[in-house]
Amino acid sequence: MKNFSGNVLFLDRSDINTDEIIPAKYLTEISKQALKPYLLEDIKLEGFNSQLDVKGKHVIITRVNFGCGSSREHAPWALEANNIHLVIAENFARIFRQNMFNCGMMAVELPDQTIDGIFKEFAGKETHLETDFENNAFIITADGHQQEISFSISDFDRALVMTGGWVDYADEKY
């Protein structure tokens, strides 16, 4: 199972599309690691610098409809190449969400008030998130302040995370 804990990258915008996560011109790469330097290169977000701001972050927290646009799995791979295995948002585009779990990663939805609360309390601060997968909880910490938030994922998604993804799951089962 992958690691789902680490420092948090806050992306305070909705509708961040897959072209912003990884621009189409890098789709000619045939290895996942090659995508590493280009994550979020073209994102439209005030004050954001993909060269500086991604480093050392292993969890993304964002708003609505993250990962909309093209079906490219290069988007989760670009995250994976940067050791970001968990994205938390109000909701996701369908294909992106499925791609995350298919790769044994997590795309977790939280209610809008919860996301809003997290942004108010933690955005702009050096924030750490610890995932307690067994107990369906995130523990978020910054400046000595700590908050526990419970989440839910379906049994099917849980099984994918535990087997490491859909290829092994399906090949075994069907």
Partner 1 sequence: MGKTIAEKIFDAHRVDHPEKDIHVIRLDAVFCHEITTPIAVNDLVSRGKDRVFDSDKIKVVIDHVSPAKDSKTAMQGKILREWAKRHKIRDFFDIGRNGVCHALFPEKGFVRPGYTVIMGDSHTCTHGAFGAFAAGVGTTDLEVGILKGVCAFRSPSTIKIDIIGRLPDGVFSKDVILFIIHRLGVNGATNKILEFTGPVVDAMSMESRMTLCNMAVEAGATSGICNPDMTTVEYLWEFIQNDHADKESALATFKSFHSDSDAQYDQVIEHDVSRREPMVTFGYKPDQVKPVKEMASTKVDQVYIGSCTNGRIEDLRVAAQVLKGKKISDSVRGIVSPATPKAFRQAMEEGILKTFMDSGFCVTNPTCGACLGMSNGVLAEGEVCASTTNRNFNGRMGRGGMVHLVSPATAAATAIAGFISNSGLYKGSP
Per CB under 8 A, residues contacting partner 1 are 15, 17, 19-20, 23-25, 27-32, 42, 44, 64-65, 68-73, 76, 91, 93-96, 98-99, 102-103, 154-156, 159, 165-168, 170-171, 173-174
Question: How far apart, in whole angstroms, are the C-alpha atoms of residue 98 and residue 166?
Answer: 10
Q: Least distance to partner 1 from the beta carbon of 157, Å?
A: 9
Residue 17 or 62 having the CB closest to partner 1: 17
Q: Minimal distance in Å, beta carbon 163 to partner 1?
A: 12
Q: How far apart are the first and last CA of the chain?
A: 22
| CB of 134 or CB of 155, closer to partner 1 | 155
Yes or no: say if 30 and 72 are a contact pair by the CB < 8 Å rule.
no
* Residue 112 one-letter amino acid: D
**Look-up of token digits 């924030």:** 127
Instruction: Quote the tokens at residue 170.
Output: 């399906």
Minimal distance, residue 61 CB to partner 1, in Å:
18
Bin 26: left if φ > 0, else alpha if -120 < ψ < 50, else beta.
alpha
Looking at beta carbons only, is 1 or 24 nearer to partner 1? 24
| Residue whose CB is less far from partner 1, 62 or 99 | 99
